[in-house]
């Protein structure tokens, strides 16, 4: 049975796109980011220019891809989606950029995965809308400068620390951090999703799901769908008690934490005497990938105040210890 981090690790593309807001009013929270982006887009539209490039960063499932879609919708522009890992060779980038319809929003997801070489090629494209292509080899090789169709780059990453500072500085339209969501915002998101999916969810049910959603819209939507499945299979109306039973079956506790989160905290407590523990050492003793530890488990545990990150590694806080004693 998959648990909440799995709901985060694996993107349910079908559910994501079925529930993805297509209007700004449906995009809850992140008020600061929304206000800035709207000004950027409106000003550019007024001038008849493409807006400057922007970057969104934050944990998985908090709405980065959704924002890229909203940017394209607002500009009434085509959206071309790719990812850092898909652009392997210089030719891949050249093919994408030279084939863009003028005025396209180019969304590069997980942009921290671009290689250094590709990044360097991207700089002139971002600064002056041109691409330097080397034709031929050896002494007869020459560089040709191609003028690109105008485009706006929207980058997204879950790993801001891995982004080079020269690349970061090329986002003239701003670098925006997306935050976790409040319970209030999550409740609005769940209510809208329930309506869209035709699920009859009372405020008490919505409340229950919100409190177990790790402050993350994608988890909220996935959990809503799974408790609905549970109530249908058991032929019982969707009540808060049914939500509790479903969550118990999924291994999700009242804070939205799972056995994997508890295993992380327990490893830190017993294997490393509460820390400090380096992320690699922790990952290896949990047989997990350090990236998953850092980007899936830790952001929410940090937010709960159960762990702290210090220069020497992760530390289990008193609150984290108390949680372990109770669970």
Ligand X SMILES: Nc1ncnc2c1ncn2[C@@H]1O[C@H](COP(=O)(O)OP(=O)(O)OP(=O)(O)O)[C@@H](O)[C@H]1O
Residues 189 to 248 in contact with ligand X, rule: CB under 6 A: 189, 217-218, 221
Mark whether 64 is an active-site residue.
yes
Q: In angstroms, what is the minimal distance from the CB of 283 to ligand X?
A: 20
Rounded Cα–Cα distance for residues 226 and 203 (Å): 17
Query: Taking CB within 5 to 8 Å according to partner kind, which of ligand X, Mg ion, none is near residue 189?
Result: ligand X
**65 counts as catalytic:** yes
Which one of 18-26, 127-135, 139-147, 260-268 is the stretch in contact with ligand X (CB under 6 A)?
A: 18-26
Q: Supply the Cα-derived Rg of the chain in whole angstroms.
A: 22
> Which stretch, 35-43, 57-65, 99-107, 246-254, contacts ligand X (CB under 6 A)?
57-65
* Closer of 54 and 94 to ligand X (Cβ): 54
Residue with Cβ nearer ligand X (29 or 274):
29
**Known catalytic residue at 46:** no
Q: Is 65 in the site for Mg ion (CB under 5 A)?
A: yes
**Strand 130-135 and strand 142-147: pairing?**
antiparallel
Is position 104 annotated as part of the catalytic site? no
Q: Which residue, judged by CB position, is nearest to Mg ion in the bound state?
A: 65
Q: Examine the residue annotation and report whether 239 is marked as an active-site residue of this protein.
A: no
Interacting residue with ligand X among 37, 41, 50, 61 (CB under 6 A): 61
Q: How far apart are CA 22 and CA 140, in angstroms?
A: 51
Rule CB under 6 A: say whether 155 interacts with ligand X: no
Closest separation between CB of residue 216 and ligand X, Å? 8
**Is 63 among the residues that bind ligand X (CB under 6 A)?**
yes
CA separation, residue 151 to residues 6, 49, 101, 148 (Å): 35, 10, 8, 8
Of 63, 60, 83, 81, whose CA–CA distance to 72 is shortest?
A: 81
| Binders of Mg ion in range 278-307 (CB under 5 A) | none
219 touches 4 (CB < 8 A): yes
158: contact with ligand X by CB under 6 A: yes
Of the candidates 109, 253, 260, 261, the residue annotated as catalytic is: 109
Catalytically active residues are 64-65, 109, 158, 218
Q: List interacting residues with Mg ion (CB under 5 A).
A: 64-65
């Amino acid at each position: 049975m998959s648990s909440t981090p799995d709901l985060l690790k694996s993107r349910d593309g079908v559910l994501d796109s079925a529930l993805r807001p297509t209007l700004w009013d449906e995009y809850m929270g992140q008020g600061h980011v929304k206000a800035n982006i709207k000004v950027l887009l409106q000003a550019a539209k007024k001038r008849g220019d493409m807006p400057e490039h922007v970057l969104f960063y934050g944990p998985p499932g908090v709405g980065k891809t959704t924002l890229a879609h909203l940017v394209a919708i607002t500009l009434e522009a085509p959206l071309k989606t790719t990812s850092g890992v898909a652009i392997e060779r210089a030719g891949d980038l050249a093919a994408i950029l030279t084939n863009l319809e003028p005025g396209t929003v180019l969304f590069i997801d997980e942009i921290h995965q671009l290689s250094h070489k590709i990044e360097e090629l991207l700089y002139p494209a971002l600064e002056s809308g041109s691409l330097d292509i080397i034709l031929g080899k050896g002494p007869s090789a020459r560089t040709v400068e191609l003028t690109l169709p105008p485009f706006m780059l929207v980058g997204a990453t879950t790993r801001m620390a891995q982004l080079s500072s020269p690349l970061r500085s090329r986002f003239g339209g701003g670098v925006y951090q997306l935050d976790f969501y409040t319970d209030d915002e999550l409740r609005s998101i769940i209510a809208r999703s329930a309506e869209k999916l035709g699920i009859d969810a009372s405020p008490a049910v919505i409340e229950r799901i919100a409190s177990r959603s790790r402050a993350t819209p994608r988890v909220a939507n996935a959990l809503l769908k799974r408790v609905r499945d549970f109530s249908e299979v058991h032929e019982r109306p969707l009540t808060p008690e049914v939500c509790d039973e479903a969550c118990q079956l999924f291994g999700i506790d009242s804070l939205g934490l799972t056995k994997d989160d508890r295993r992380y905290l327990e490893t830190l407590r017993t294997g490393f005497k509460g820390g400090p523990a380096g992320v690699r050492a922790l990952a290896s003793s949990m047989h997990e990938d350090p990236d998953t530890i850092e980007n899936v488990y830790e952001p929410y545990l940090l937010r709960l105040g159960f762990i702290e990150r210090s220069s020497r590694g992760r530390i289990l806080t008193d609150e984290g210890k108390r949680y372990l004693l109770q669970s």
